Amino acid sequence: MTATCTVTDAESSAPLSGGLLWLAALMLASANFIAVLNMTIANVSVPNIAGNLGATTSQGTWVITSYAVGEAITVPLTGWLAARFGSVRVFVGSMALFGIFSALCGLSNSLGLLVVARIFQGFSGGPLMPLSQTLLLRIFPKEKTAAAIGLWSMTTLVAPVVGPIMGGYLCDEFSWPWVFFLNAPIAAAAAFFSWQLLKRYTEPLSANRIDLVGLGLLVVWVAALQLVLDEGKDLDWFASSKIVALSVVAAVGFIAFLIWEFHEAHPVVDLRVFRHRGFSVSVLTISLAFAAFFGVSVLTPLWLQSFMGYTATISGLATAWSGITSIFLAPIAAQGSMKWDPRKLVFGGVLGLGAVTLWRAVATTDMGFWNISIPLMFMGLFMPFFFIPTTGLALASVEEHEMDSAAGLMNFLRTLSGAFATSLVTTSWSNRITENHAELVGLADSDASVRAMLEASGAPPEVTNELLDYLVTGQSVMLATNQLMWIIGIAFVVAASVIWLAPRPSRVVDPSAGGH
């Protein structure tokens, strides 16, 4: 009996290998996928949700905002939570709660209840991104670290693209609650199998008291900033006293948070990881490049669905090519980041994204499906060479016991940059359409030949005016889209250049790091 128990104990504490290793990897990747997916899956569902719950579309956007606020607050807390309760316990608990609150979202019969459930869904989803990353690194043997980074990175890049497609399909074919019900079985399976497979990976716990002041300041400034980013475009930014007040709260709260956290003995967010130049520069590159990438990802379906006549499904199929091609290059990028200077890979990858974006800046309204999809295929070829080596470089730049804090901060800033880019791109696009329309009205059909042709064909004056306005609007949108593509392409070039400020890494990420 004793011998049997000894063997069993040894087996339960042995590292995972073979099929069990890849099952654990699949569970961790699934957790990261649905956490990132829920940042965008509800975007196309807002009109359906608002109409069904008797709310305006403007009120319906709180469904998006509430999740983002909850997630943005808990992502940077990951390091403290992992040190206090253990990475595996926090991950499994977050996964289980994510499934429960997802089900509650789908069962909500009022907007208020849905918003509250989304806030708690965001709270639960926040730790999933950084912990899925560090746990993947911990369970994989060193020679397969590249595969772990590649798997996690691709779920992060593909999920925002898949989100609107899946959300639109579920709303069209079923109903909006299925956007949230979809998460529940995935979360339940991931929580169960993750605990069974990962409970052997224990680490010493820290009984540090919670930094209540730091936590309070974090909640205040993050919530205020997220509201500014989400509501600003609808309230005409600083022309609104509400946005001005929220901006002041966010700025003062952020400064107070920085001062407090740098002087607190046990900070709720360990900002000291920024003392590592490699980490700081990598995070800056990720933030700039991801903001540009998210800007393109938001702008493309808006343009296709609003003015090119694409349905949500066809638009999703066109944009999905970037995610499909990136999957095939991910293993090469992951292996390359372990063998070569990752700064070269990042520079080439981000510069390639910029080149493709500039290629897309000469689009026309006559473009067909494949004219739009082919550049996106090429963009997918460069995406792994940006995200995978940058992530590895960032985590290789910090000490091993700082891995959870570093991963949490990196994901937090990436999420924040995506939110900022979404607001900036949608506002700039709308403004440029208006400006272009005003300029083109005075230039279009200056000799009245088109008007004369339409009237000669028997079109009434009001129909003629509508047709001319339709043509002018279409060209105004196309010009605005191309103008923003130029700006985003240049932003990619800037982001590519920033990576050279990082020192050459002296090591690769140790798979045993993250929480020890």
So what's the pLDDT on residue 6? 37
Report d(CA 8, CA 28) in Å as an integer: 25
Instruction: Map residue 50 onto helix, strand or coil.
Output: helix
The one-character DSSP state at 141 is: -
For domain 11-204, give the fold.
Growth Hormone; Chain: A; (1.20.1250)
Locate the domains of the chain by residue range: 11-204, 211-267, 273-516
Report d(CA 267, CA 384) in Å as an integer: 34
Report d(CA 232, CA 420) in Å as an integer: 11
Q: Identify which of 271, 274, 252 has the alpha carbon closest to the alpha carbon of residue 262.
A: 271
So what's the pLDDT on residue 464? 67
3: exposed, middle or buried (Cβ count in 10 Å: 0-12, 13-18, 19+): exposed
Single-letter code of the amino acid located at 329? L
**What Å distances lie between residue 366 and 166, 371, 372, 379, 449, CA to CA?**
27, 9, 10, 21, 22
Report d(CA 57, CA 46) in Å as an integer: 7
Q: Which element (helix H / strand E) includes 458?
A: none
Other Cβ atoms closer than 10 A to 58: 12
In the numeric block, which tokens belong to residue 23? 């099952």
Q: Which element (helix H / strand E) includes 369?
A: helix 369-396
In the numeric block, which tokens belong to residue 472? 């002018």
So what's the pLDDT on residue 416? 79
So what's the pLDDT on residue 452? 63
Instruction: Map residue 267 onto helix, strand or coil.
Output: coil
So what's the pLDDT on residue 4? 40
Q: Identify which of 146, 140, 62, 134 has the alpha carbon closest to the alpha carbon of residue 105.
A: 62
Please check whether residue 196 is in contact with residue 115, taking contact to mean a CB–CB distance below 8 angstroms.
Answer: no
Q: Identify which of 404, 510, 414, 499 has the alpha carbon closest to the alpha carbon of residue 148.
A: 510
Give pLDDT tens digits along the chain (516 positions).
Answer: 344 443 334 444 556 666 787 788 888 888 888 888 887 777 667 767 877 887 765 566 677 767 877 887 787 788 778 888 888 899 999 999 999 999 999 998 888 899 899 989 988 988 888 888 788 878 777 767 667 777 777 777 777 777 777 877 887 788 889 989 988 998 998 899 888 888 877 767 766 677 888 888 988 988 888 788 777 777 778 888 889 999 999 999 999 999 998 888 778 788 888 888 989 999 999 999 988 988 887 788 778 877 788 776 677 778 777 777 777 787 788 777 777 888 889 999 999 999 999 999 988 888 888 888 899 889 888 988 887 788 888 888 888 777 777 877 887 888 778 777 877 887 888 888 888 888 887 666 555 655 666 666 666 666 666 777 777 888 888 999 999 999 999 999 999 999 999 887 665 553 333 333
What ranges make up the beta strands (E) of 208-250? Answer: none
Q: Tell me whether the CATH fold assigned to 11-204 matches the one assigned to 273-516.
A: yes
Report d(CA 205, CA 192) in Å as an integer: 22
So what's the pLDDT on residue 454? 62
CATH 3.90.650.10 assigned to 273-516: no
